[in-house]
Amino acid sequence: MQAESLSFVHRFEPGDAGLPPVLLLHGTGGDEADLLPLGRAVAPGAPLLSPRGAVSENGAPRFFRRLAEGVFDEDDLRRRTDDLADFVAAARSRYGLEAPLALGFSNGANIAAATLLQRPETLAGAVLIRPMVPFATPPRPDLAGKPVLILSGAMDPIVPVENARRLAGQLEAGGAAVTHRMLPAGHGLSQAEIGLAAAWIAALPAPAAA
């Protein structure tokens, strides 16, 4: 099902209401269809909500602007994070969803991390694939008990190992239950970590009945 009347162009695939819904957040150059196969692979049967980033970088969709690779426009990031959180709230109302688990890759993982820090009520948790620290001075959210899986690449040329570890520390400081896996990989997604993400999601408790 495709719908464009909410604030983001997006795709929604209904699923089992007993499974956590998944918010799919693509990387630079992706779109609302990009992570649907990944979502189906790691969360079979779950409702999937997949927006397209509203920023264009030379024609490539993104969720927020950057000044250079690895250098974010933080004013834009804060504004776009609020926009995404407001979209999720409206989509939850339209589609009858619980708070979703974010599954983000690269730029999508970065705005998911920003959402956890700036609008923590938006997400039930997150799988962050190749994220980096979004804010130079992060907010101090209450993330008590929120599960977060971070999948980093030890040979990632874009995200330094120290940066990924610092993000894990910021989320843990807010009370999130962080699992950080450093994998022998670069910036791209590997088949092995698809299995890791699927197993991690499958072990999460089911959403409470309404």
10 Å Cβ neighbour count for 110?
A: 29
Catalytic residue among 75, 106, 142, 190: 106
Residue 187 annotated as catalytic: yes
Name the DSSP letter for residue 187.
S
Inter-axis angle of helices 107-118 and 161-173, nearest 10: 30
- Euclidean distance between CA atoms 70 and 152, whole angstroms: 15
Q: Identify which of 138, 148, 84 has the alpha carbon closest to the alpha carbon of residue 111.
A: 84
Does 34 participate in catalysis according to the annotation? no
Nearest to 17 by CA among 89, 92, 126: 92
76 is catalytic: no
Q: Which residues are known to be catalytic?
A: 106, 156, 187
